[in-house]
Structure 1
Amino acid sequence: MRVRRSVKVWWVIAAVIALVVAVLPQVGPTAWAQGDAGGSTTTTPSPSAGQAAGAADAELAIIMDASSSMLQPDEGGTRLDVAKRAATDLVDSLPDTANVGMLAYGTQVTDAPENHERGCADIRELAPVGAVDKDRLRGEIDGLEARGYTPIGNSLRAAADMLSPDAAERSIVLVSDGIDTCAPPPPCEVAAELADEGVGLAVHVVGFRADEATRAELECIAGATGGTYRQADDAAALSESLQFLAQRAIVEYETAGTEFQFADTADEAFYVGQGLYRTTVQTVSELNTAAVPEKFLRVAVPEGHRAYVAVTAVPRIDLTDTGGGEGINVRLTSTNESHHTCTNNVASSQTSGGGWEPPESTVLAFAGQEPGDECDGTQFLVAAQFNTAGLGDAEELEVEMSVQFEPMPGNEVGTWPEGHPGSAPDAAPVEISSPQPVAGGNSFANAAEITEGSFSDAIVPGEFRYYRVPVEWGQRPVVTMRTGPSVRDSPDTMYAAMYGPVRHGVASEYVSFYEDGAELTAASDRPVNFTNRDANVGGARVAIAGEHYLAVSMNVQGSGPNGVEQPFEFAIRMDGEPGEGPDWEPVNEPGPTPS
């Protein structure tokens, strides 16, 4: 089950840049963009209702310039030749889910004075907005010929008509090397009119070798709609703009497991078994915890086992909020109903807003029945509360739950190392050497498998990247992460958090960066030992060996576009020699159907 997330269509700038770039090298996900960012002017768009609600998909209409000025010589032929090669490359790289259309002006009527009226209406739809038809677009682009006038204002209106009024975001991208030669209507006035007609329409523009007068006109168009203008005068400016070729939407968190529902009352609660589950919950917004309604399920803990119920509430992403969205308070309580003397357990956590820190799991632990114990381990009732604590609106959220039963060992515990107090010295940074590309997963369940070593990946603001690495008894996991300069040319922050096999938080750090790269190192506060749980309260988080998780996230602060991938590198090291402990690992498969 995927959590829908509203994203600004900043990848549209990739389309704009692609139309004017053909011969410069691609920038891969691990090549940190350099250069002066002064060639762009950005007006922050107002958030749309579609953005807030995660409504329909975004749509894009691309306007190609085939006016007579595109016949001027350029690298490898004419300016139009450059644009055609780049546009074809763009089409090849578009995701199959993109909703893209294309039109061109100046293709059929020459710019002779007697053709003025006809030339200013020379606007041809190459492909309607919809699921991208790559074969059709390639053929249409290949057949373009530059002949005529530059009817920018009329083309903007035609492009707007191609876009659905129900789309969450509607974007037009325009590349031009000259001013409108058909005004009236003045293109800036047309842009302002389009912006007034509906929320969510933005025009993004690149001035290709634009002179002062052309730049003023094109900047006005972008500014009137809350779009972005970029000036491309030379190879250096174009190279700086290539970063936008990697823009994309957020890869959403994907919950996994058997579907279930919390019950509204204890009497209606079903039993869940060992494994993964997923559901949806309705949050409330209450300052008083006692006023937050409880939802229920039941757990039958096998004799001689310890239960872990980890609930991960996935926040909705709001890229218009510098916090990324509202946080969620999750509170779990277990009650053994078999006898009044049985111990109750409580766990709670605050899930940070999306695009800030990875969502934290609330982990509730409770022991089953032991010999001579009057508390029946099959009679546990678990109550869950989901609350925004008066800080946000009540809303429906996706929830992932892991239920695990850990067998308790016998007398062999006395032969294992004593619990560590958690005062291990700061870990030395891990050397990042020859990192290998890896694509992080989008959730705990889909985490990419890695081992000790160096890796590289990329992330966009508001996204989570997950990796899993085995940790043996007696080992202390250490991670070092390094960023390059901010690709968004904005003060940015990245987080790295480590979680244990039952999703306990083990370590976390963050690093802020801007013009220079930055580095962080995070490590658990002690080696993983079974007896850590008896050392102190914090030891329970570092008391289970097996697959640990590394989660990386990036904030959504700053004024830069949100769809730009930020490359990063990281390395994992295990300090300490493997030791002794029980041979048990959690079950990360869908759990049995609740009953």
Structure 2
Amino acid sequence: MLTPKLRVRAALSLGGVVAMLLALVALPVPAAQAKPTETPSLAPVMLVLDASGSMNEPDPSGGTKMEAARKALKEVIDGLPKEAKVGLTVYGSKVDTNAPGACQDIEIVSEVGALDATSMKGIVDGLTAQGSTPIGSALQKANEGLPKEGPRSMVLISDGIDTCAPPEPCQVASDLAGQGVDLTLHAVGFDVDDAAREQLRCIADAGRGQYVDVTDAETLKDKLPILTEKALRSYEAQGIPVTGTETKNGAPELQPGQYLDTLNSSETRYYTLTVPQGMTVYAAATQIRPSSEGSGGTDATYIDLKLINRDDEECANDREVTSDSNWEAHNTAAVSSEMTKDERCYNKDGKYYLRIERGTSARSLGERQVEIMVAYELPVTKDQGESPKQVVELGSPSNPGQYVAGGSSFNDATELTGSGIYTDQVRFGEMLVYKVPLQWGQGLAYQVHYGNSPDSGSIANVETELYNPMRQTAALDVTDTTAYTGTSMSLKTIATPYVYHGNRKGDGAVGMASVAGNYYITVKLAHDAAEDSTGAVPVELTLTVDGKPVEAPKYKAIGDYTDGLMYTPLSAQDTDNSGDKASGSGGGDSSSNTAVVISVVAGGLGAIVVAGLLVWWYRNRRTS
């Protein structure tokens, strides 16, 4: 079975492109109740299109560049979520390049706001190319059309270098990014020469975004949507708002589902669970750490989760420790326990408590959001037994690599659709998240490769870790971390056995591969030791999914709980974090809120090395 561990991190540790970039970017009741969902908010995005005269040049695949851009933009618009807030700024479309005012020919033709796809596509159809290329001024104008606070992004599509400077585009990008850590600038070079490529890459680097090269209409159509999707994404914690209590007395009751609380430095909160006898309970606490925390220093923060009874006897515990010099976007502690009479903390009335404690460090002072996940699983009447093979072997896919845009959290993880090679980019101070659906009888193996850094002399921690659907991991068995010095390197292969219910009798990676559903892969590049590296590093993820799906185990019904694993997914919850928070007296009947049943089918280098040794030692300790 999964054994509680003290886990410590190392001490340092165009259609398709635009979509990818967009992706970057107290109730007086006794229990927290699930409500109809409200879709998580997306970061506002301003598309910035080059309509200069050079866009009338032939596209290598036929037609003109402008025709290709119009087609790609319309495909992006058709693929946008209805909740997306996307605007369009155009330069060079109305004044001839030799006419007065050519360098001021910049217009926000579609404001950032509620998406009107028909209107926006009509505007795109009416665009013509004829003028100059005032990129720096266009970025300033586009910024005026974005909100002044919160996550927001720009995606620039250009086929050439600025012809109107000053202002210098790279300096403008740096100035805009300096006004707020939540602004990101991405750039697409459409059949550009070396000088334009260098300038556009500089804009993306200064703006903490990504640069993507496209050579013709087809690659623009493929990559622009992916980049746009990435620009839309930003980590936003999700869950039913809840406020834990300082003691067990009056702690709010949590049903299966996902919740969101806010904990201050060194604060402890309690929550009540009512678990029927024989049920297995899973719980996880995920602490959100913004990239703006940076890195450096010898302090460490932690998230500590305990499942206890009213007498403070522990059923299970987990503590995730991360040093300040090894920033991560989110840290998760996870526990599970089968509530039978043989359990040391068994309580016949089924009343238990989650105790969550947030540690503090020099860089993590103040409040942080914590996602809390709760799930129940029925006892089985017919087990599948253990996996017939210890671990999946990593294959050698022959495909050239599918470009994807990794998510930023468990909530928006990008799905990898099967065996193959996937390519992405990761920035310093960024963690990407992917998910791989595994049915009963299936398993996975993967390996992460980091390419060369565009910044010389970079030193940072890199890490990958695998989590099961209950956000459980297995320390060294499914984790690899080391120092990245800016040159191409690979982490070790991570593999699971085939997923069987009986695996939970085992330890490490075997124990965690005991629940079917989405398995999560994180790929991290910590802040550079000198905190002066800004470029994006290419990453390649080789994945093998193997195994023939088998029949799910047979479960025994308990009360209103009738099928398998019970968990209220986000799609069935109210995740509006601005609404009333759930709080209460801790009473109530757990059966009053019927759970949704899901069929789960699916600093310097020396310091880094020393830190890695500390990680190995700590991760192999067991807590009582």
Q: Please state which band the TM-score falls in when normalised by the shorter chain.
A: 0.5 to 0.7
Secondary structure in 2 matching 1:295: strand
Q: Which amino acid aligns with 1:390?
A: S
Aligned partner of 2:578 in structure 1 is: none
Query: 2: distance between equivalents of 1:572 and 1:357?
Result: 30
Aligned partner of 1:297 in structure 2 is: 272
Find 1:397's aligned residue among 369, 373, 377.
369
Query: 1: distance between equivalents of 2:543 and 2:305?
Result: 35
Aligned partner of 1:284 in structure 2 is: 264
- Asked whether 1:334 is paired with 2:308, we answer yes
* CA spacing shift, 1:228–1:87, aligned 2, 3 Å: farther
Query: 2: distance between equivalents of 1:501 and 1:152?
Result: 47
Residue pair 2:103, 2:133 contacting (<8 A) in 1 also: yes
* CA spacing shift, 1:282–1:444, aligned 2, 3 Å: closer
- Please show how residues 123-522 of structure 1 align to structure 2 within 5 Å: 123-149=106-132, 155-166=138-149, 168-169=151-152, 171=154, 173=156, 175=158, 177=160, 180=163, 186-188=166-168, 192=172, 195=175, 199-200=179-180, 218=199, 222=203, 226=207, 246-247=226-227, 248-249=230-231, 250=233, 261-269=243-251, 276-286=256-266, 292-299=267-274, 301-302=276-277, 305=278, 307-318=280-291, 321=294, 328-337=302-311, 344-350=314-320, 360-365=332-337, 367-369=339-341, 377-378=348-349, 380-390=351-361, 392-404=364-376, 407=379, 427=391, 429-431=393-395, 454=419, 462-471=431-440, 478-483=443-448, 486=451, 495-497=464-466, 499=468, 503=472, 505=474, 507-510=477-480, 515=488, 520-522=493-495
* CA spacing shift, 1:565–1:143, aligned 2, 3 Å: farther
- Asked whether 1:100 is paired with 2:71, we answer no
Q: Which amino acid aligns with 1:310?
A: A
TM-score, normalised to structure 1, is 0.61
Secondary structure in 2 matching 1:62: strand
- Asked whether 1:547 is paired with 2:530, we answer no
- RMSD in angstroms over aligned alpha carbons? 6.2
Q: Which amino acid aligns with 2:369?
A: L
Q: What do the CA deviations read for 1:97-124 (whole angstroms, capped 9, x no partner)?
A: 142222222524462xxx4x35454444
Aligned partner of 1:22 in structure 2 is: none
Q: Which amino acid aligns with 1:349?
A: R
* CA spacing shift, 1:315–1:407, aligned 2, 3 Å: same
Query: 2: distance between equivalents of 1:154 and 1:442?
Result: 31
Residue pair 1:460, 1:565 contacting (<8 A) in 2 also: yes
* Unaligned residue ranges in structure 2 (runs of 5+): 1-13, 22-39, 558-562, 569-589, 595-624
Q: Which amino acid aligns with 1:547?
A: A
Q: What do the CA deviations read for 1:18-71 (whole angstroms, capped 9, x no partner)?
A: 9xxxxxxxxxxxxxxxxxxxxxxxxxxxxxxxxxxx99934425142324x555
* CA spacing shift, 1:383–1:484, aligned 2, 3 Å: closer
Residue pair 2:44, 2:152 contacting (<8 A) in 1 also: yes
Query: 2: distance between equivalents of 1:261 and 1:360?
Result: 19
Q: Which amino acid aligns with 1:66?
A: S
Query: 2: distance between equivalents of 1:306 and 1:570?
Result: 33
Residue pair 1:13, 1:204 contacting (<8 A) in 2 also: no
Aligned partner of 1:82 in structure 2 is: 65
Residue pair 2:156, 2:186 contacting (<8 A) in 1 also: yes
- Asked whether 1:64 is paired with 2:76, we answer no
Displacement of 1:199 in angstroms is 0.5
Query: 2: distance between equivalents of 1:158 and 1:449?
Result: 35
Q: Which amino acid aligns with 1:387?
A: R
Query: 2: distance between equivalents of 1:277 and 1:231?
Result: 39
Q: What do the CA deviations read for 1:489-523 (whole angstroms, capped 9, x no partner)?
A: 79995635254879574951338897477761423
Displacement of 1:555 in angstroms is 0.8
Aligned partner of 1:569 in structure 2 is: 543
* CA spacing shift, 1:253–1:328, aligned 2, 3 Å: farther
Q: Which amino acid aligns with 1:571?
A: V
Q: What do the CA deviations read for 1:387-427 (whole angstroms, capped 9, x no partner)?
A: 13435223242433335366599xx99xx99x99xxx9974
Residue pair 1:282, 1:386 contacting (<8 A) in 2 also: no
Residue pair 1:467, 1:551 contacting (<8 A) in 2 also: yes
Query: 2: distance between equivalents of 1:447 and 1:190?
Result: 31
Aligned partner of 1:27 in structure 2 is: none
Query: 2: distance between equivalents of 1:148 and 1:526?
Result: 59
Query: 2: distance between equivalents of 1:267 and 1:175?
Result: 61
Number of residue pairs the alignment of both structures matches: 503
Secondary structure in 1 matching 2:112: strand
Secondary structure in 1 matching 2:272: strand
Q: Which amino acid aligns with 2:565?
A: V
Query: 2: distance between equivalents of 1:149 and 1:165?
Result: 28
Residue pair 1:283, 1:388 contacting (<8 A) in 2 also: no
* CA spacing shift, 1:518–1:562, aligned 2, 3 Å: same
Displacement of 1:217 in angstroms is 10
Displacement of 1:166 in angstroms is 3.7
* CA spacing shift, 1:593–1:488, aligned 2, 3 Å: farther
Residue pair 2:49, 2:156 contacting (<8 A) in 1 also: yes
Query: 2: distance between equivalents of 1:471 and 1:143?
Result: 52
Query: 2: distance between equivalents of 1:552 and 1:432?
Result: 19
Q: What do the CA deviations read for 1:58-86 (whole angstroms, capped 9, x no partner)?
A: 4425142324x5555664678xx213312
Displacement of 1:170 in angstroms is 5.4
Secondary structure in 1 matching 2:113: strand
Q: Which amino acid aligns with 2:270?
A: K
1 or 2 for the larger relative contact order (CA 8 Å, sep ≥6)?
A: 2
Residue pair 1:103, 1:123 contacting (<8 A) in 2 also: yes
Displacement of 1:268 in angstroms is 1.4
TM-score, normalised to structure 2, is 0.59
Residue pair 2:187, 2:210 contacting (<8 A) in 1 also: yes
Secondary structure in 2 matching 1:480: strand
Query: 1: distance between equivalents of 2:220 and 2:87?
Result: 25
Secondary structure in 2 matching 1:555: strand
Query: 2: distance between equivalents of 1:396 and 1:142?
Result: 45
Q: Which amino acid aligns with 1:266?
A: K
